[in-house]
Amino acid sequence: MDSISEERKRGKFRTREFLANNFSFIGFALVVVLFEILTQGKLLGARNMMNIFNDFFTIGLGALGLIFVMSLGELDLSVGAIVGFSAAIGSFAADASLVLILPACLISGLLIGLMNGLLVSRLHVESFIETLAMSFVIRGITTFLLNGTRGIGIAMRVFDGDIIKVATFAVVAVACYILYEYTMFGKHIRSVGSIAEAARQSGVPVEKTKLLAFMLCGLLCGIVGFFCLVRACTASTKTGNAFEFSTLLAVVFGGMPLTGGWPVRFRSALVGSVSMAVITSGMSLMGLSGLTQQIVQGAILIGVVTLSFDRRNAVVIK
């Protein structure tokens, strides 16, 4: 018969395991309750809910793409630059025809994702370095192309409608969920993220999997670029600024392990994005300055990573 101390240890372990497995939901609930109190009930008001959704929409789409890349154990720091570049290309396509804006945004995002994927998977460039460098290159090209700002016809604002955005997000989220959880591609991604060599020996096409993940991330950034463009009807060199930080923070807050692999849960993207949108909205309603908001977001990132990083399973030497 187990001793009392061993039963207590098992109990503590189950509690810790529950907390670790449901960290994202617990964090989300805490954030909602905290800011609802601090904003004296304004956070969950009907008007503010759409503001939260508008914040959540672009970050959520970006996070959905990032899930695939980070599940591989890779990083994509070029997502913000891809958003800006896609919006810029879309603004040029608008000169030919408004119908071409969306395809132009999608194709440009896809092509940058393809480049990222090729460099990481074929040339084995470290994704952190490669995507960071790519972001500089793309930002430079965007600045050169735009030479300031470019506007498009205000008729495109119809795509900034709430119903269209809710429907778009629902379709993309469901499609990504099915792809991630129920297809071989999704399983391959997590296998590669866990132990790439073992996955390769098991017949998983590692390079192709990485390539497709980066392309998918790029495609979703293209969608974000399109919606950024139609929201302001303007593409500027600042479009997508700091987007990589927002999406990274979102997925990490959602419980995404930085090492990728099988522990990754698809819900990290959604719950984390909503949580970050709630935090941003709450801080804004409280009247916190931009500097203070940055400090809070940075502190959250450090805290979440510290609490959720699984040191036992971290691979020290590959």
Partner 1 sequence: MKSRVLALVLVLVLTAGLLAGCGSQPASTSEPSSTAATGTSSAIPKFKIGLPWWTSTDPSIVSIENNIKTAVEAAGGELVEIDSDMTADSLIDNITELISRGVNGILLMPASDSMLPTVDEMCSSAGVYYATYFRDILDQGIKDQIFASKYYAGGCHEDDQQCAYDITKSMVDMGVKNLCVVNIAKGDTSSDLRDAGVKKAVDETGINLLNTTYSITTQTDMTKTIESYIAAYPEMDGILLAGTYCDAALPTIEKALSDHNMAGTVKVGRIDWDTTMGDYFASNSFNVAYGGQFQIDPMLSTMILINAVIGTPINTDGSPCWLQTNYLKLTSKEEADNFVKFFQGDLPIFTTDEIKSTMIKFYDPSINADTFKNIIANFSVADVVARHQGMIS
Q: Which is nearer to partner 1, 188 or 231 (CB)?
A: 231
Alpha-carbon distances, residue 16 vs 6, 133, 140, 242, 266 (angstroms): 15, 39, 47, 34, 21
Q: How far is the CB of 147 from partner 1 (least distance, A)?
A: 6
Q: Copy the structure tokens of residue 176.
A: 């990504």
Confirm if 85 and 237 have CB atoms less than 8 A apart.
Answer: no
Per CB under 8 A, which region of 46-54, 171-179, 182-190, 191-199 contacts partner 1?
46-54
Distance CA 226, CA 222 (A): 6
Q: What is the footprint of partner 1 within residues 11-30 (CB under 8 A)?
A: 18, 21-22, 25, 28-29
**Beta-carbon-side half-sphere exposure of residue 159 (alpha carbons within 13 Å):** 22
Instruction: Quickly tell me which residue has 């395809």 as its tokens.
Output: 103
**Site for partner 1 contains 147 (CB under 8 A):** yes
Q: Which of 30, 49, 295, 315 binds partner 1 (CB under 8 A)?
A: 49
Three-state DSSP at 234 gives: strand
What does residue 149 show for φ and ψ, rounded to 5 degrees? Answer: -135, 160
**Site for partner 1 contains 228 (CB under 8 A):** yes
Q: Which of 142, 236, 247, 297 binds partner 1 (CB under 8 A)?
A: 236
Q: Which of 8, 9, 16, 157 binds partner 1 (CB under 8 A)?
A: 157
Confirm if 227 and 53 have CB atoms less than 8 A apart.
Answer: no
Distance CA 218, CA 76 (A): 9
Using CB atoms within 10 Å of the CB of residue 6, give its burial: 0 to 12 exposed, 13 to 18 middle, 19+ buried.
exposed
Q: Which of 34, 36, 137, 241 binds partner 1 (CB under 8 A)?
A: 241
Q: Which of 166, 171, 198, 295 binds partner 1 (CB under 8 A)?
A: 166
Q: Tell me the residue type at 231.
A: R
Query: How many residues make contact with partner 1 (CB under 8 A)?
Result: 49
Q: Which is nearer to partner 1, 193 or 225 (CB)?
A: 225
Using CB atoms within 10 Å of the CB of residue 144, give its burial: 0 to 12 exposed, 13 to 18 middle, 19+ buried.
exposed
Q: How far is the CB of 48 from partner 1 (least distance, A)?
A: 6
Mark residues 254-293: x for contact with partner 1 by CB under 8 A, - for none. Answer: -------------x---x--x---------x--xxxxx-x
Q: How far is the CB of 287 from partner 1 (least distance, A)?
A: 7
Q: Which is nearer to partner 1, 1 or 158 (CB)?
A: 158
**Site for partner 1 contains 35 (CB under 8 A):** no
**Site for partner 1 contains 163 (CB under 8 A):** yes
Distance CA 230, CA 138 (A): 21
Give the DSSP H or E segment for 235. strand 234-236
What does residue 235 show for φ and ψ, rounded to 5 degrees? Answer: -110, 130
Running DSSP on this structure, what letter comes out for residue 260? -
Q: Which of 38, 118, 234, 309 binds partner 1 (CB under 8 A)?
A: 234
**Site for partner 1 contains 158 (CB under 8 A):** no
**Site for partner 1 contains 168 (CB under 8 A):** no
Confirm if 154 and 229 have CB atoms less than 8 A apart.
Answer: no
Distance CA 134, CA 121 (A): 15
Q: Which is nearer to partner 1, 193 or 255 (CB)?
A: 255
Q: Which is nearer to partner 1, 259 or 284 (CB)?
A: 284
Q: How far is the CB of 166 from partner 1 (least distance, A)?
A: 7
Distance CA 57, CA 223 (A): 11
What is the binding site for partner 1 (CB under 8 A)? 18, 21-22, 25, 28-29, 44, 46-55, 146-152, 154, 157, 162-163, 166, 228, 231-234, 236-239, 241, 267, 271, 274, 284, 287-291, 293
